[in-house]
Amino acid sequence: MNKSIYILICSVLTFFTTNAQLDPVSYHDGNSKLNGWAAIPEKKLTENPGVLVLHAWKGIDNHAKDSALKLWALGYHVFIADIYGEGNYPNNTKEAGQRAGYYKKNPLQYQNRIRKALEQLQKAGANPDKIVIIGYCFGGTGAIEAARGQLPIEGVVSFHGGLAKIDERKTTVINTKILVCHGADDKNESPEKISAFHDEMRSANADWQMIYYANAVHSFTDPAAGNDNSKGNAYNEKAAKRSWEHLMDFLKEVL
C-alpha cells in the first residue's frame, strides 16, 4: 500500500474513533454559541470526579481531544471547553494571538467562559465537589485564572501556561491546589514573570507546586509542535510523559 494512502487511512480512523467517544455539546454564554466536547466514562470512578480541559490559543485541537480521551479511559467525566465561541475561531497565529490576548487582558470574562464549561461538565454527570481543571498554553493561563477567581474546583494544572496577571489586579487568597508544569527552557515566561508568580502564590497562601522539565521549551506536551527547540515551541516526549505522570499523581491526591 502507498505510504501516503496508509497515513490518510490511519488519520481518518483516528478521527472517527476520537469523535465516536467525544460528544459535541453546544451551549451558550449570553448570545454567544459555544461548541465543546463531552466524554462520559463507561466505567466510572467512585464519586464521579470530573476534569475540565482548556484548549491552547488556536482553539480546540487534537491535543486537547487526545488528553480528554486518556482521562475518559481512566474513568473521569471530561469536558473540553470552548472559550472563543462560534464565529471567533482563529484562522492563523495572528488571530490566535489576538483572541488569546483579549481574554488575558479581560480575566473576568475568561473566568466566566470557564464557569459556563464547568456547568456543562456537571450536567454530564461530574460531581461538582470533585473537579479539576487542566489547560495547555493559553488554557494553562485559564487554569490559573480559575484558581485566582475562586471557581468551585478542587485543583488546577497548567501545562506550559502563561503565569502573569495584569498589574492592577490585587492578589487574593487562593484555596485551590495548583500544579504548574513548566519547560525549563521556555522563553515565553521571563525570570521576572516567574519570580512575580512565585511571590503571588506566597502572598495568596496557596497550596502550589511548580515543576521544571529539562530541555523543554513551550508546547512541550504537544506532538504537533515539532521537535526543533530553537523555534521556541517543540514537543519533548520525556517531558510530556513525566508531566502526565505528575498530573496523575495530582488527580489522585486532589480527587
pLDDT in tens, 9-53: 344 434 444 555 899 999 999 999 999 999 999 988 999 999 999
User: In angstroms, what CA-CA distances link 81 with 95, 221, 239?
Assistant: 19, 19, 25
User: In angstroms, what CA-CA distances link 209 with 12, 218, 226?
Assistant: 39, 18, 28
Question: CA–CA separation, 116 vs 101, rounded Å?
Answer: 20
- Consecutive H or E run containing 133: strand 131-136
pLDDT band at 99 (very low <50, low <70, confident <90, very high): very high
pTM above threshold 0.85: yes
Q: Tens digit of pLDDT for each residue in 177-217?
A: 999 999 999 999 999 999 999 999 999 999 999 999 999 99
- Consecutive H or E run containing 77: strand 77-80
Question: CA–CA separation, 96 vs 238, rounded Å?
Answer: 28
Instruction: Decide if 157 contacts 133 (C-beta within 8 A).
Output: yes
> Of 210, 214, 218, whose CA–CA distance to 246 is shortest?
210
For the record, the C-alpha cell of 183 comes out as 519547560
pLDDT band at 168 (very low <50, low <70, confident <90, very high): confident
Question: CA–CA separation, 117 vs 78, rounded Å?
Answer: 11
32-39 β-sheet, strand order: 23-29, 32-39, 77-80, 50-54, 131-136, 155-159, 177-183, 208-213
All domains in the chain, ordered by first residue: 25-254 (3.40.50.1820)
